[in-house]
A and B are shown apart, each in its own frame.
Chain A
């Protein structure tokens, strides 16, 4: 069973994603901000991480940098899922080492497809 970590501070958005990926037979972990995400990553090695950018305390970019600096997590695919849709933000996200960048509002289907693609499924 593939593992997925969803990091977003909007509970209603998380709820939809959680439901969707559970239906796709993922083991789903949820964090409300970067800090919680990093806490979870101490014990879990998910295959995919879905990361929001605008979050309280530790934002998405910072979280990604911390993930990338941890060698144990090097196989982890990271996908940004953010309402920040400016060209510059997308470029920044990808240059920091994210594997994909989808903008909000998103199509559930596209998100699922993207995750599958990242996992080579």
Chain B
């Protein structure tokens, strides 16, 4: 393919990335951007060009050896639920922006340690970036079928590297606070992860199913190749130990690689996203590895005996079949894999370099003192330049040293170097005694072992001298052979180097830490790291500090880096959180820690400490004293916690009391209303009786007919009065729980018949048609007498509401699984929807709170409700097209 065309495609692709990054940055609260899937996919930055191309190379040359690099993460990822949560919490609380920050903070804001970690990362990662550039460059030349130009500035790929460097430095430094989230970059990385996986799967399917005839076909043909059996069997215990070491290597890489730390920890928005990542990320790795094998051995079959770079089978195969679209697609996938790594790695390295080396060592101007010193603008510009230079420098590493080793071996070396951070890093999470000196010496000595067992022999290999260093050892001592140190001869170089370097590193870290106690600051942070869950919300409390400091001095420092407004806001938050008077002149340890935190994101932990300590006067504290203070503050925290708990309990109690009180007031009001209505209801029949009696008493001339009528009225009103009193007493019995019911298994159908019997006359009088829809029998558990009362009441109401003509009452009995349901409906005017709920209240007065009169005594439905609920049934009004429909249920089985 034509170079220009491919460059155009790349430019379009880069423009797309710019666009996505820009869009994501703008809508940074969008749920398309902040979600667990974006997070999980961004973790797949782990799969670089090395995975994309290198795995195939390894698989084709040495069989299954490519696997442990993916098995390690898959094995360790479930532990993230605990370990990663802890790391994220520590990082968030302390505003940590890189792994160098993380480690140096734990070991007492150590400037030196931060710098060493940064250097370790630089040594490990720079060639690794070079490796990605190498992949881009070589694949570019494979796709365009052009030779690599020996003059750097004539090679197109140099300009691609420059474009990438510009992109990274533009998007990587949008925030001064390095612990801020970079949503644009993360979204692009996630998108690229999807692209590279997709294209890899497509080429895998193409090769397996179109070029070959499925997995079987490849296997059949490959098994005839020489070496197949040897390469594809696991060679006993030594091989297993090799695998084990490689798995350990990749396990530590998934935590420690700076770019990995960045996407998993610094860019984590919510802890809960981990829950998705722990299944999605391993799944991603598995998917990525499905077709490695078929592609590798497919390539071996197709190119058997030819001299080709096996790393690039995925490009060479479609090219062999003249499939240009696929070739470009695969190239873009690899390009994606490479640039996400390049961009994120260079951003993290630049943050580390500025925050942990340049700023704390005053290389950007003095931290302390006057205004002319270091400035925010300078920091940002430096970061930009550093990103740019790192990428360009990596490109030159690649061009100068050629990086002749295959993609995988360079990546492996990087892993081993980064793994030197493992003892001090994991120690920081679980071991309080780990000290700064232990960490420093462990890393340095581990690194030296790496040099001896890995870098030096490789360098000599590249130089291609006739040195006997590798074959016979240093000065001819066989025990000092770099690849078989002390006679350990069954490990391959990488696992071998890892074994010795980690062993030395760990032993030194452990023994130095145990022998020399750390200072109080280390001990202080040890406590905070190990017990982070305890200090999550009030970690400033856990900080031990003694001395004199003025709030105004600290504010001044903050203003310089944060600006007036943010400082003011931050101080307000602090004062609010700890209930501190804003006019307080003297600062306490909490404010010191708070201020250090605010600065950490901008200038790193070590510089933050240096800066703050320049404006305060700290008193020296001895370690025992610190431990004592710490014990006390621990107690304080416990007491504080207890106090908070008690105060919370009090608050809760107050709230409950308030609720109870409101409830009582409501009840009281209800009682008043109840009494009000009861008296009204009682007065009505009395009024009628009194009026009729008065007429009969005073007027002798009442006609006989009318006289009888008045007397009849007196009788019926007296009965009404009596019924009312009965009902009130009934209700009272249910409400106070004094009512006893006799629950037995009864047939609902016969109960309904019994209930209807006394009402037939009434129904007949109004010419109402009644239908009972039911089976022969339906059994439920209830007190028959009471349910007759309920039915009687409901049917009487229905009769009352039926229209004068064509009245219709329907009773349905529905036998359900756990209950028998009874519907009583009429075709009257129906019930207002607003009244569905409260119609069962005693003397419910319709919703508008006027003085509309309730129908009947107003107690009937209230009693029905009480009875039904006493049976653990339910009663409600059902929405119906015409008329009212009241439904209640009776349980069929014993209720607990």
Contacts and interface: CB of A to CB of B under 8 A. Distances in A.
Interface of A: 9-10, 12-13, 15-17, 19-20, 23, 53-62, 83-84, 86, 104-109
Given A13-B684, A16-B692, A59-B851, 11 more contacts: A10-B687, A12-B717, A15-B692, A16-B688, A54-B680, A56-B853, A57-B852, A59-B852, A105-B687, A105-B691, A106-B690
A111 B683 CA distance: 17
Contacts of A55: 851-853
Interface stretch (B1-9, B458-466, B706-714): B706-714
A51 B123 CA distance: 100
Contacts of A16: 688, 691-692, 694-695, 710
Interface in B541-559: none
B850 interface: yes
Given A20-B695, A59-B852, A84-B851, A104 B683 contact: yes
B698 interface: yes
Interface string B675-706: 01001100110111111101100110010001
B34 to A, nearest CB: 57
A86 B679 CA distance: 11
Contact of B851 (A12, A19, A54, A108): A54
A15 B709 contact: yes
A10 B698 CA distance: 22
Contacts of A15: 692, 709-710, 713
B855 interface: yes
Contact of A23 (B684, B699, B709, B713): B699
A108 B694 contact: yes
30 contacts: A9-B853, A12-B713, A15-B713, A16-B688, A16-B695, A17-B691, A19-B695, A19-B702, A53-B851, A54-B680, A54-B851, A54-B852, A54-B853, A58-B852, A59-B853, A61-B850, A62-B850, A83-B679, A83-B687, A86-B676, A104-B683, A104-B684, A104-B687, A105-B683, A105-B690, A105-B691, A107-B694, A108-B698, A109-B694, A109-B698
B831 to A, nearest CB: 13
Among B689, B695, B713, B851, max chain A CB count under 10 A is at B851
Nearest to B716: A12
Given A12-B688, A16-B710, A55-B852, A84 B695 contact: no
B691 A83 contact: no
A62 B702 CA distance: 35
B857 to A, nearest CB: 13
A15 B688 CA distance: 9
Among A54, A60, A84, A107, max chain B CB count under 10 A is at A54
B852 A13 contact: no
Nearest to B709: A15
B816 to A, nearest CB: 36
B713 to A, nearest CB: 4
Nearest to B676: A86
A108 B695 CA distance: 8
Contacts of B706: 19
A83 B677 CA distance: 10
A10 B680 CA distance: 13
Contact of B680 (A59, A84, A107): A84
Contacts of A10: 684, 687-688
Nearest to B850: A59
Interface in B692-747: 692, 694-695, 698-699, 702, 706, 709-710, 713, 716-717
For the residues of B in contact with A, the DSSP-based class is: helix
A21 to B, nearest CB: 12
Nearest to A81: B687
A56 B855 contact: yes
Contact of A13 (B687, B851, B853): B687
B756 to A, nearest CB: 27
A27 B32 CA distance: 81
A19 B696 CA distance: 11
Contacts of A53: 851
B512 to A, nearest CB: 87
In the complex, the 9 A-B pairs of residues with the closest C-beta atoms, listed nearest first? A16-B691, A12-B688, A105-B687, A83-B683, A104-B687, A59-B851, A105-B690, A12-B713, A54-B853
A83 B852 CA distance: 13
Contacts of B851: 53-55, 59-61, 84
Nearest to A33: B853
Contacts of A84: 680, 851
Contacts of A13: 684, 687-688, 691
Contacts of A61: 850-851
Contacts of A109: 694, 698
A58 B853 CA distance: 9
A82 to B, nearest CB: 9
A18 to B, nearest CB: 10
Contacts of B855: 56
Contacts of B691: 12-13, 16-17, 105-106, 108
Contacts of B688: 10, 12-13, 16
Among A16, A60, A61, A104, max chain B CB count under 10 A is at A16
A61 B851 CA distance: 8
Contacts of B695: 16, 19-20, 108
Contacts of B684: 10, 13, 83, 104
A56 to B, nearest CB: 5
A119 to B, nearest CB: 21
Nearest to A55: B853
A23 B703 CA distance: 12
A86 B683 CA distance: 13
A104 B682 CA distance: 11
Nearest to A13: B688
Contacts of B850: 59, 61-62
Interface string B611-643: 000000000000000000000000000000000
Nearest to A58: B852
B687 A106 contact: yes
Among B676, B679, B686, B852, max chain A CB count under 10 A is at B852
Contacts of B702: 19
A17 B710 CA distance: 12
Among B676, B683, B691, max chain A CB count under 10 A is at B691
B707 to A, nearest CB: 10
A53 to B, nearest CB: 5
Contacts of B698: 108-109
Among A13, A56, A62, max chain B CB count under 10 A is at A13
